[in-house]
Structure 1
Amino acid sequence: MKIYKSKVALACMAAMISAQAIAEDGNLLGRLGDANNKAWFEGASIRIKELNISTVTKGDGSFRFNALPPGDYTLEIRYLGAPKSEHKVRILDGETLQQRFSLGLNEPKLDELIVYGQRAGQANALNMQRSADNLKSIVSSDAIGQFPDQNAAEALQRLPGLSIERDQGEGRFVGIRGIDPNLNNVTINGMNIPSPEAGVRSVALDVIPSELIEGLEVTKSVTSDMDADAIGGSVEVKSLSAFDRAGRSASLTVQASRNELRSETSPKVSGSYTEVMDFAGLQDSLGVAVALSWFDRDFGSDNIESNGDDEIEQRFYQINRKRIGGALNLDFRPDFDNQYYLRSLYSRFSDDEYRQANAFTFDGDDSEVERSSKDRYEKQEILSFTAGGEHQLQQWHLSYQLGYAESSEDEPEALYYKFKGEGFAINSDFQGQIPAIEQDNAAKSLANYEVDEISFEDNFSEDNELSFKLDISHDFELAGHSAQLKFGGKYRSREKQTNANIFIYDGDFDELDAGQFAASTPDWGLGDFGEGLNRQALRHYFSANRSNLELAALDSELESKGASYQSDEDILAAYLMGKIDLDNLRLVAGLRYEQTDFATHGQRVELIEDEQSGEENVVNSPWQGERNYHHLLPSLNMRYEFSDQLIGRFAYTQTIARPKFEDSAAFQIIESKTEENDEGGFDTEREAEVGNPELKPFESTNLDLSLEYYPGDIGVLSAGYFYKDIDNFVILADVSHLEAWQGYEEVTQPINGESAKVQGVELSWVKSFDNGLLIAANATLTDSEAITLLDGERFETSLPNQSDKVGNLTFGYENEQWSLRLTLSHKSENLEEIDGDMLRMEDAHQQLDFSGKYYFSPQMHLYFNAINLNDEPYYHYFDRRSVNAQYEEYGRTFELGFNWTL
């Protein structure tokens, strides 16, 4: 009997083992939203308790677990702002279970606050930040709508460690931890965006209207599957996708704004529409998202600036800026294993600027005044297309993307006038931020001036990039721990060219009456400006008389040829990266290889003025250069979860930044003058300004360490330390002492200098209270050291544009009808450049903005924004704050608008 029972037991065991051997693993495909399916939640942590494996929800709320043994499991869902919840699921043999989940919210009002308003923006961003493998700061589309920000740059200034460079009071370029924007990477929908501006790599994010953005993501510690050209960090702009919103959605915003300084009213209209629909017989398989934005803004600024010694200039700006943007995104998802997408974004930014200026040179009886005008229309365009797909092949995940982007800057028919006058009674003590100028009535009348020079420019620059990338990942188990191996590559081909056509007319103006161009006195608020210049009259005269004007042919050729060049850059990258979860520790480590082939060609342009031979001409000869280099760059990101509330991070990365195109371009502008000396002989003086195709890229070693405490609800308290050691820092230097430039008096050229170092601390606190109050505060304290060589002298300074204190403070309140925010942004003084023997400093800037909304219903609200409430000017000074370099004021701007959403 015992033998019989033993045989039966063995047979049962064999059957069980056999059944398990042939059992097929299953999959779980989930989607997390609110109870009413009004919104999906991104960045939520989803964990299978029995297997101790976890993942994070995507933008459409989806998540996936592959290769799960059949059985019963407990899903643990964590999302800041909602209580932790658990859900039971059963995975059957070979089945892919598809199921929707909702957050465990106990109060209906809390549910609404999580889905809409300030809480929504904070919750979404903090959850994505909390679950990220590396150091990130995120702005969601909901958060963008809570600030009076006109573009992507201004939306990013609210994040820890980020600051913006302004132009005419509007945010343009974004600095990450004080690093030059040229050393950051900007992508739109994963596609590297070339810069529309000539000579630079930095992308002015004011060309992208905030209405076209679904989210902004700033990565401060890169992983090996990311582009390496991110010394400061990487900015990812994400446009909206239909699958990121629940069901059909639509929005419409109508706004009017008024600039206090110029008393101009400006209209704005924007809208979006998304829908998920059936396609080719497949249910909810096609997503369509469309967004449009149009903004026509009239404003201006009043400016006064000096050289700190003997020159002061008054400037009056009248500006019209138009932003037109559109996005069309298509997603096709035939099943849960395959998806395809097409993303497009177009943005056109035009800047129509008319500037009138008075430049005073104080030199006793030889004092003079130069009056000038700048009539310039500039159009910048960015067009981006990306197409790709993602496929889940059992344990393997394959993704690929083909992208094309082009940017351009067109400056057609720019017209500049210069008028000169002498013998006026003028005086100034050069004291204070706004130095006073004394001038007699004769200096204020244009009839007492003569036309000195007219210049006409037609400039165009274009930057385009074609790229392809492939990423392959494999999920597996290693010694009982969840792990992933990821590898892939990317190819980028970039071409940037700049073409300048400059015509200088500098003679035959004796019979021209300058008084015919006079206009009424501009409303310049910084002192006495005198008569204005009639824009239409200046333009009409030039158009009618251009053929009769005397062209300075040599100067025109020198300026045009010297500013025209083309650069080509091919980058081939490959990487290998691994990720493993060791209980509460996640390690992400890898290597990235990047090969760069760079070539540039332009002109060697020499202006020769020889009194001895009587020769006076311009000699042009082609000049080209190339440089090939490669880097092997390691990265390590560690994330340790001490508890549900406390997370620690450490990162060691190496990154690079390729030199600016204007620094590495092949151009030489040489001026050679041969004049008779006192002894009757002849001396030749030569000066040059040249590019440097041999420049090495910046190389940086980066360390990051941080702690993040999430006390519950919607909030975080974080502190971090960062350190960057940057080699091959590019500086401008006089290289006339080198053998290649023997006989030259001065040769200005960018060269690789010594190292620069940056270290700092980032602090942040965000808290949403149940009574509707919201507080957000962040501060970044930095210290930097850089070496600058000027006229052979070695200067130890801070990094240019590096503020040692950057911070934001926000107070907000929200209930069912009101949403209010008051925000203060602060940026301390920083070194701009060394100007001669003086330090030119940018003064501290702090700006107060207000945003208020009144909700008629969850679908409709009225809003009011007040920008620069404290009327903060833009101020630069030399050495001491009392020595003006530039003072500019913009006034307050008020916006009133209506928003409707479906």
Structure 2
Amino acid sequence: MESNLLIHKKLYLFILLLVCSTTLLQAQTIKGNITDAKNGETLIGATVHIEKGTYQQNTTVKLDGTYVFKNVPAGEYKLQVKYVGYKTTKEYTIEVKQDEIAVLNVAMVDNSTALNEVTITEHAGKATDRSARSDEKNSNNTINVVSAQSIAISPDVLVSNVLSRVSGISIDRSSTGDAQHVIIRGMDKQYNTTLINGIKIPSPDNKNRFVPLDIFPAGLVDQIEVFKTLTPDMEGDASGGVVNLVMKTAPDKLKIEGDFGTGYSQLFFDRPFASFDHSTVNSKAPGEINPGGIASPSDFPYQNLLTKTGNPPPNTNASLTIGNRYLNNKLGVLFSGSYQNLYQGSNSFAVIQTNDIGPAQGNSKQNTETGFQDTYNRQYSTQLQRLGAIASIDYKFDNNNVINLFATYLELNQYRVRQTQDDTYGGYTYQGYRGTFSVDNLTETRSDLQSIYNITLSGKHKISSPFSLDWTVANSQATHKLPDDAEFDTKYGTSPTTTTNEATGNPAEPYVSVAQGVTNGPVYVQNESRTWTHNTDKDLSAYLNLHYNVKIFGRTAIFSAGGMFRHKTRDNFNDSYNLPNTIVNGEPEVYTSIPAAKFMFTGSDTVNAKGSSATDPGVYTFVENIHALYGMVKYYITERLDVIAGLRGEHTYQNYYSLLPSYLPGKTATITYLDYLPSVNIKYALTNEQALRASYYESILRPAFADLIPYPDPIANEEYSHVGNPYLQHTVINNYDLRYEFFPGAFDEFMLGAFYKQLTNPIETELAQSTTGAGGLSLTPNNFGNATNYGLELEAKKFFGNIGASVNYTYTNSQITTLKTITLNNTLTHIDQTRPLQGQAANIGNASLLYKDQKIGVDAQLSLSYIGERIAAVSSYYGLDTWERPSTFLDFSAQKKIGPHFIIYIKANNLLNTPYQLILKQNNTYLYSGLAKLPHQESADYTTLQYDQFYARYNLGIKYNF
């Protein structure tokens, strides 16, 4: 045995020595960096060639900025580097000794002809990752930048979805499952603004200022910039941040790009898609065609309420970009267009809170909020037609004078069928669930038409060596139309059979009737609703900025001053009709079909027959003028330290007129205020790759237009009406920011930041009893005193050869204390409750695993996004705020280059089928597992108010680049 053990030991020793010697024999390595001789930027993709006699190898510079030849025989090699746009290097001689690593770093000189072509143009290319990193590094502000190159290989085709992966940003979603609005650093969407090429654009939203970002196809942009601090030359109503979409501009040479793809939603593998003929929709309401007239049932054709179901056709998306320069490169022209025809939807469950709920209960009792009257089971089927087009013309007169004419048109038309089963509950249970008293089946067809156009003329001029100026004039318009939002309703009663009383264990409901069966009554036609709404938001804006460069104490100082003016007009129209059903022998008409259903206005029913437009407070006009002046200086105190400081003044004038009755407050108003907004931004460069940034700025939030007008708008939300508040005040915010930046490699980066915000009169939307006489609960904006919001932000990206990892994480904590209604010891009272701000999630993060192989032309990305819980709606009751549950999304994308011009790609979104959930944080024992359960409850610890599922989506396509 000892002999065998000795043999084994010798064998192991021999194998170990063999492995070590083999490793040593193959340990020779050649490696290094390839950079631009002028600016030191790493030249990703440069080809490095080595040879020794007949031995030859090639490799490329990887994403970590290095090239590597491993396991080469010892000896002397010739090394040469080639890169498009750069002069091929001389042949370098490098010697590799046994068991050693030889390092050779090479700086390349760019081709002089190519360099001249680039410098003669005004617009530097913004589409590359290198440009995005450079902008982050050199910006005056704290900023995150996403390039078109990154967007192209991401799983996203919309700007809104791209933004969901940016540090510090969370999103909310529409009924189609797409990201729609951004929440930056815990500041709700109303605190953020959207720009196109630095110009604010109006919103097609029928109530709010913020722009629905799902209207933007991602393929139209070169860069997406997210500014998280402001300088005095920026408008002051962006406390969370500014989303600036840098659109494509004329290239340096002929550019032709195309994209065609298709896809499908997994949702429609499991259920059919419902559609209607939207060409039959009346574009105008009877009250618009015949103002003040009496409508008849014939004015409301039924054809747009007829639906059909089946498998939807595959999705289609296509884009084309063409651009070039002419007249010795002085004139640049570009056109880019994008079209998408998509079929999407969701399955939704919701319980409806009513005014019969009663106040929250204290003393550890279960809240009576769980006494829900209705639940909705809904299926959404939506056809989305998204069109985007831009045109850009720039002309460079000489090195000192450039003008640019830019135009864009964006359109998002959604044709939606919403099928709802509305269960109204009775006082019994059946098969372990609450039994129904009646069931409504509602079919809604909606044509939701949104558009934005913008035309901008701008110029940059250098007057003399120290003086320069730039100017912009812009005309923009956003429209939103909902022509004939129609809903057809049928209803049948239900009643229990053979009931027995059983104990529930629930003190609030000790016994319940248990039914052995349920009998359904006949199906009756109910009243029909038809609504026309539309709004238009027009902006006429002008900007002027003057700059003066001077030396102070031998250091550069740049003085800037300027101003802007915006004239905004908004009009809103609403005309609603309630078509009474036909009563036959004291009973509603029995339902047979939609075409057979009869509706009639009685002779005395002039209210319904006239519609609402003549007296509807939702019909209003709104005028807003913003005047602003600013002055600032950027001073380079040392080579590493610079400061930007200044003051901005913004004067706000608002006037609106509505059809609200004159005896109610808020019919009309004129509002003016003046804000002085100081700011300072400091940047200290620790090294060429590292910097510290610190800033302070003051900002504001102006209330949304309809937030000031107290009328119930049932269209704004799927469940509850929105009612404005004429006493709403604008919000003032003090913002503090600190960030450390480190850019160690070509695409590697590390950022660690902190922020703190003080809010005076923050605006939040409260779910409370309606005060308009409409009854039930409604959503109303209010000022809730003062609040704070602070957090930490981390972002890191690192490449190891062809493999990279990207992570970002943001922790946010906001606090506001407000009075809430509660019942204690059977007495109605009010107590303070401290909670987060609406929309703020404590934890949000993104993680991506990246693979890039430029040699074979493969890119792949697996992305995970997480959004923590947050308040979706503030309740007037203690402890009954509506919370959105945490969500995790998994997406994947990959593309492969085929030849010099083609790329095939695949994108897959929402692979985890992550639901959208709204809850109440309260005891849910009896609704979750008692004798009278409520459907779709997920836990005994919280009550599920809404549960939506969107399912995965898949896209496959091909791109062409010339």
| TM over 0.5, shorter chain | yes
Are residues 1:344 and 2:407 paired? Answer: yes
Q: Is the 8 A contact 1:565 1:666 kept in 2?
A: no
How far apart, in 2, do the equivalents of 1:83 and 1:654 lie?
47
1:492-515 residue CA offsets vs partner (Å, 9 max, x unmatched):
111122110000123424476554
Output one character per residue of 1:560-602: Cα deviation in whole Å (capped at 9) or x when no partner.
6022222211000000010011221010111001011111111
Compared with structure 1, are the counterparts of its residues 200 and 140 closer, same or farther at alpha carbon in structure 2 (3 Å cutoff)? same
Number of residues paired by the alignment? 741
Select the residue among 806, 828, 843 that pairs with 1:805.
Answer: 843
Q: 2:792 maps to what in 1?
A: 761
Tell me if the contact between 1:191 and 1:405 (Cα under 8 Å) persists in the aligned partners.
no
Distance 1:747 1:800, change over 3 A: closer
Q: Deviations over 1:662-720 (max 9, x none)?
A: 21237599xxxxxxxxxxxxxxxxxx996444532111000001111122232111110
Counterpart pick for 1:626 among 666, 670, 683: 670
Q: Which residue of 1 aligns with 2:935?
A: none
Q: How does 1:722-801 map to 2 (within 5 A)?
A: 722-731=755-764, 750-769=781-800, 771-790=801-820, 794-801=832-839
Whether the aligned pair in 2 keeps the contact of 1:501 and 1:560 (CA below 8 Å) is no
How is 1:275-314 mapped onto 2 (pairs within 5 angstroms)?
275-278=324-327, 283-307=328-352, 308-310=370-372, 311-314=374-377
Counterpart for residue 261 of structure 2: 255
Alpha-carbon shift at residue 140 of structure 1 (Å): 1.1
Counterparts of 1:439 and 1:464 in 2: how far apart (Å)?
A: 59
Q: Secondary structure at the match of 1:712?
A: coil
TM-score (norm 1): 0.76
Please give the residue correspondences for 1:71-86 in structure 2 after superposition, counting only pairs within 5 Å: none
Residue 385, structure 1, aligned to residue 461, structure 2 = no
> SS of the residue aligned with 1:284?
coil
Taking the aligned partners of 2:893 and 2:565, their CA distance within structure 1 comes to: 43
Aligned equivalent of 1:139: 146
CA-to-aligned-CA distance 1:507-559 (integer Å, 9 cap, x gap):
42447655423xxxxxxxxxxxxxxxxxxxx4x457x8677899672695399
Letter in 1 for 2:471: Y
The one-letter code sitting in structure 1 at the alignment partner of 2:209 is R
CA distance in 1 between counterparts of 2:424 and 2:779 reads 26
From the superposition, tell whether residues 786 and 327 of structure 1 become closer, same or farther in structure 2 (CA, over 3 Å).
same
**CA spacing shift, 1:866–1:422, aligned 2, 3 Å:** same
> What is the rounded CA distance, in whole Å, between the counterparts of 1:851 and 1:570 in structure 2?
45
1:227 is aligned to 2:301? no
Q: Out of 427, 446, 452, which is 1:376 matched to?
A: 446
1:274 alignment counterpart: 323
**Letter aligned with residue 848 of structure 2:** T
In structure 2, the residue matched to 1:901 is: 961
Preserved contact between residue 723 and residue 780 of structure 2 (Cα < 8 Å): yes
CA contact (8 A) 2:615 2:660 kept: no
Contact 2:530 2:577 in 1 (8 A): yes
Q: For residues 560 and 270 of structure 1, do their structure 2 counterparts lie closer, same or farther at Cα, with a shift above 3 Å needed? A: farther
Work out whether residues 765 and 873 of structure 2, in 8 Å CA contact, stay in contact via their aligned partners in 1.
no
Distance in 2 between residues matched to 1:874 and 1:559, nearest whole Å: 39
Quote the residue 2:216 is aligned against.
208
**Counterpart of 1:453?**
527
In the alignment, structure 1 residue 820 sits paired with structure 2 residue 865: no
* Equivalent position SS for 2:190: helix
The answer to whether the aligner puts 1:194 opposite 2:202 as a matched pair is: yes
Is this contact kept in 2: 1:355–1:375, CA < 8 A? yes
Alignment CA distance shift 1:768-1:124 (3 Å): farther
* CA–CA distance in structure 2, aligned partners of residues 621 and 580 of structure 1: 51
| In structure 1, C-alpha distance between the alignment counterparts of 2:382 and 2:41, rounded to whole Å | 47
Corresponding residue for residue 432 of structure 2: none
Deviations 1:173-200, CA, capped at 9 Å, x for gaps: 1111121111111111222111101110
Could you say which residue in structure 2 is the equivalent of 1:533?
Answer: none
- Retained in 1: the 8 A contact 2:565–2:627? yes
Aligned-pair identity in percent equals: 23
* Aligned residue in 1 for 2:891: 849
Unaligned runs of 5+ in 2: 1-37, 47-84, 86-103, 120-124, 270-311, 353-369, 429-435, 507-513, 714-720, 822-829, 923-937
* C-alpha distance 824-858 of structure 1, shift in aligned 2 (>3 A): farther
Aligned pair partner of 1:154 in 154, 161, 173: 161
| Cα distance between partner residues in 1 of 2:415 and 2:631 | 48
- Aligned to 2:134, what secondary structure does the other structure show? helix
Q: Does 1:561 align with 2:616?
A: yes
Is the 8 Å Cα contact of residues 815 and 834 (structure 2) preserved in structure 1? yes
* 1:636 equivalent in structure 2: 680
- Structure 1 unaligned blocks of 5 or more: 1-28, 38-60, 62-81, 89-96, 104-114, 432-437, 518-537, 607-618, 670-687
Q: Deviation per CA, 1:836-879, whole angstroms, max 9, x where unpaired?
A: 55221101111000000011124211001111111111111111
Query: Judging changes above 3 Å, is the alpha-carbon distance between structure 1 residues 887 and 778 closer, same or farther for their aligned structure 2 residues?
Result: same
Mapped contact 1:504–1:552 kept (Cα < 8 A): no
Identify the match of residue 398 of structure 1 among 469, 476, 494: 469
Residue 92 (structure 2) aligns with: none
* Residue 646 of structure 2: aligned partner: 590
Which residue of 591, 605, 625 corresponds with 1:570?
A: 625
Aligned residue number for residue 4 of structure 1: none
* In 1: Cα distance, 2:765 partner to 2:846 partner: 34
Preserved contact between residue 565 and residue 600 of structure 1 (Cα < 8 Å) = yes
Deviations 1:389-418 (A, max 9, x none): 110122211110000111011110111122
Q: What secondary structure is seen at the aligned counterpart in 1 of 2:563?
A: strand
Q: Which residue of 2 aligns with 1:675?
A: none
Q: Does 1:892 align with 2:952?
A: yes
Paired residue secondary structure (2:592): helix
The residue identity in structure 1 corresponding to 2:592 is Q
Which letter maps to 1:562? P
Shift of residue 328, structure 1, vs aligned partner = 0.8
CA distance in 2, matches of 1:577, 1:32: 32
**Cα distance in 2 between the residues matched to 1:175 and 1:841:** 15
Q: Deviations over 1:791-820 (max 9, x none)?
A: 565432111111111111011111132110
- Alignment-derived partner of residue 877 in structure 1: 919
Deviations 1:190-232 (A, max 9, x none): 2211110111011001011111112111110000000001011
Aligned partner of 2:133 in structure 1 is: 126
Structure 2 CA distance for partners of 1:767 and 1:121, relative to 1, 3 Å? farther
CA RMSD of aligned residues (A): 3.9
Structure 2 CA distance for aligned equivalents of residues 572 and 692 of structure 1: 25
Equivalent residue of 2:161, what SS? helix
Do the aligned residues in 2 keep the contact of 1:462 with 1:498 (CA within 8 Å)? yes
Deviation at 1:489, TM superposition (A): 0.3
Distance 1:337 1:589 in 2: 27
Match of 1:843, as an amino acid? R
CA distance in structure 1 between the partners assigned to 2:707 and 2:917 by the alignment: 28
Letter in 2 for 1:712: G
Q: Structure 2 CA distance, aligned partners of 1:572 and 1:30?
A: 41
Give the distance between the partners of 1:594 and 1:666, measured in 2 at CA: 27
2:391 matches 1:328: yes
- Once the two structures are overlaid, the 10-residue window that deviates more, 747-756 or 350-359, is 747-756
Tell me which residue corresponds to 1:166: 173
Contact 1:842/1:877 (CA < 8 Å) preserved in 2?
A: yes
- 2:874 maps to a residue whose letter is I
| 1:570–1:598 Cα contact (<8 Å) kept | yes
Query: Which residue does 2:11 correspond to in 1?
Result: none
AA in 2 matched with 1:599: N
Tell me how far apart the structure 2 counterparts of residues 98 and 855 of structure 1 sit (CA, whole Å).
25
Find the residue that maps to 1:424 and give its secondary structure: strand
Q: State the SS of the aligned residue for 2:166.
A: coil
Mapped to 2, the partners of 1:332 and 1:547 lie a distance apart of 63
TM score, norm. by length of structure 2:
0.71
